[in-house]
């Protein structure tokens, strides 16, 4: 118990010593600060009481002489400062002149680069616009030519001559070449021939059928139909209605065959054979042709 109490007292004393040491250090610092302030105040008091310290060198002069000397020194200093200011102004003017020249050159270079690229952009835009205009003009011309060809083809398909504006120039037609692949695609898969003018074929077929119909009417002894043609002398076309069956060999009435025969008759030829005489038998044939005549009469082909 005594040992522990002694240690506690020593620790307490040591803490007190440390606190006192800190307070002493603070007091010493405050004293030094106060001494410095006192010295500063003392120097200010000396300057206030005796004037500027340099005036002690002019103590042998009177006050007016000291003032004149001071004025001369100040005037000399002003001259020196004025010279320095002029030199500074001249130097600054030279620097600014060089700076302005450099800035002008940089601005001219920048403007030249901008002008160059603007010209390049304008040229490129102009070329693009010209190309687009050329492409548009070519496309319009091509569409116009295609429309003319289509109108001419449509009128030709209807058996009408093309308009003067739709007529194809011979030089342009000679310069137009149809690809061989397209020709091969256009060939008829059955006959192997190229397509011809459909309107011409249609008119030719109509004329041929009209002639065959007139020939059949003449052979059957039927008068032509009396119909109003509007004073034009034209009769409407009607296809023959004779039955299509195999031709017969030997004597008897020839049959109409729309297909090409081996005997040399052309396509749709009329095979006319010997008419039956008075002694020939007309049992089956008379009945058959009577039926055909009655059907044609009902159809309006025979009057």
In a domain, 80, yes or no: no
- Stronger pLDDT, 73 or 246, i.e. the higher one: 73
Q: Domain count of the chain? A: 2
Nearest residue to 211 (alpha-carbon basis) of 266, 286, 293, 289: 266
Token pair 């102009």 is at which residue? Answer: 126
- Mean pLDDT in the chain? 71
> Which residues have a Cβ under 8 Å from the Cβ of 168 and sit 6 or more positions away?
148, 149, 152
What whole-number distance in Å separates Cα of residue 230 and Cα of residue 240?
23
The overall longest dimension of the chain from CA atoms, in Å, is 190
What whole-number distance in Å separates Cα of residue 145 and Cα of residue 77?
99
Do 108 and 204 share a domain, yes or no?
no
Q: Is the pLDDT confidence value at 89 over 80? A: yes
pLDDT tens figures, 207-265: 889 888 888 888 888 776 665 444 444 444 444 444 444 444 444 444 444 444 444 44
Q: Is the pLDDT confidence value at 55 over 60? A: no
pLDDT for the residue 252: 41
pLDDT tens figures, 115-159: 999 999 999 999 999 999 999 999 898 888 888 888 888 877 776
In a domain, 152, yes or no: yes
Nearest residue to 176 (alpha-carbon basis) of 143, 213, 149, 152: 149
Do 113 and 164 share a domain, yes or no?
yes
- Stronger pLDDT, 5 or 90, i.e. the higher one: 90
Per the structure, the complete domain to which residue 115 belongs is given by 99-176
Do 212 and 295 share a domain, yes or no?
yes
How big is the chain, counted in residues? Answer: 303
pLDDT for the residue 196: 53
Do 203 and 167 share a domain, yes or no?
no
Do 206 and 303 share a domain, yes or no?
yes
Average pLDDT estimate for 11-36: 89
| Burial of 48 from C-beta contacts in 10 A (0-12 / 13-18 / 19+) | exposed
Average pLDDT estimate for 38-55: 67
In a domain, 135, yes or no: yes
In a domain, 203, yes or no: yes
Q: Sorting pLDDT into bands at 50, 70 and 90, what band is 3?
A: low
């Amino acid at each position: 118990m005594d040992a522990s109490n002694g240690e506690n007292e020593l620790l307490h004393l040591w803490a007190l010593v440390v606190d006192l040491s800190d307070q002493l250090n603070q007091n010493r610092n405050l004293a030094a600060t106060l001494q410095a302030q006192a010295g500063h105040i003392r120097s200010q008091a000396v300057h206030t009481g005796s004037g500027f310290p340099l005036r002690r060198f002019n103590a042998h002069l009177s006050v007016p002489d000291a003032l004149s000397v001071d004025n001369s020194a100040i005037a000399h200093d002003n001259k020196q400062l004025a010279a320095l200011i002029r030199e500074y102004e001249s130097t600054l003017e030279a620097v600014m002149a060089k700076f302005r020249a450099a800035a002008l050159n940089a601005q001219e270079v920048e403007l030249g680069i901008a002008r160059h690229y603007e010209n390049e952009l304008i040229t490129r835009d102009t070329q693009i616009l010209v190309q687009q205009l050329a492409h548009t003009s070519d496309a319009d011309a091509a569409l116009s030519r295609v429309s003319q060809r289509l109108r001419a083809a449509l009128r030709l398909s209807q058996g009408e001559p093309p308009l003067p504006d739709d007529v194809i120039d011979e030089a342009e037609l000679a310069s137009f070449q149809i690809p061989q692949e397209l020709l091969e695609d256009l060939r008829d898969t059955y006959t192997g021939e190229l397509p011809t003018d459909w309107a011409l074929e249609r008119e030719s077929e109509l004329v041929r059928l009209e002639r065959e119909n007139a020939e059949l009417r003449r052979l059957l002894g039927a008068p032509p139909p009396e119909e109003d043609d509007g004073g034009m002398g034209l009769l409407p076309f009607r296809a023959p209605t004779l039955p299509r069956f195999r031709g017969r060999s030997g004597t008897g009435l020839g049959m109409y065959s729309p297909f090409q025969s081996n005997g040399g008759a052309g396509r749709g030829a009329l095979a006319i054979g010997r008419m039956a005489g008075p002694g020939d038998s007309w049992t089956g044939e008379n009945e058959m042709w009577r039926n055909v005549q009655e059907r044609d009469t009902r159809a309006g082909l025979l009057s």
